[in-house]
Amino acid sequence: MMDIHAILKQLPHRYPLLLVDRVLEIQHNHSIRAVKNVTFNEPYFTGHFPGHPVMPGVLILEALAQAAGLLAFDAMGKVPDENNIYYFVGIDNARFKRPVQPGDQLLLNVSIDRVRGGIHKFKGVALVGDEVACEAELMCTMRNVS
């Protein structure tokens, strides 16, 4: 389990782009289960869409990528620092199955598919209750920024 304080130590993201509120479980070098609580006061709902607020799909994918980053740091046994950043570098087979609306709790399930040449490939599924909201294959890598 990882609360918001531990997440803030691992991810460089901050409001309004920090999209993981809590980690429920990490299975070392295998998978992560995390939560994003979707609230009406998030800034993107103002324009997406007036009268029918829907969380943008790209932000659901970003939430999955942030959970993947937390899993990768755990798998590598590394703590991020100011000289390195973990980038979201690719996405395949993204599918959106249901809209995500204010009041929903997004359960982020991500597992490591493979690691090759410094590129981590993950399988991600975002659920609302028992319904799949989004699924995708994500690729991320660590880069030196100093």
Residue numbers annotated as active site: 48
The rounded distance, in Å, linking the Cα atoms of 126 and 124 is 7
Which is nearest to 90 in space by CA: 133, 119, 57? 119
Give the DSSP H or E segment for 26.
strand 22-27
Would the CA dihedral through 62, 64, 68, 71 be positive or negative?
positive
Dihedral in degrees, nearest 10, Cα atoms 28, 32, 33, 38 = 140
60, 62, 4, 73: which is closest to 32 by C-alpha?
A: 73
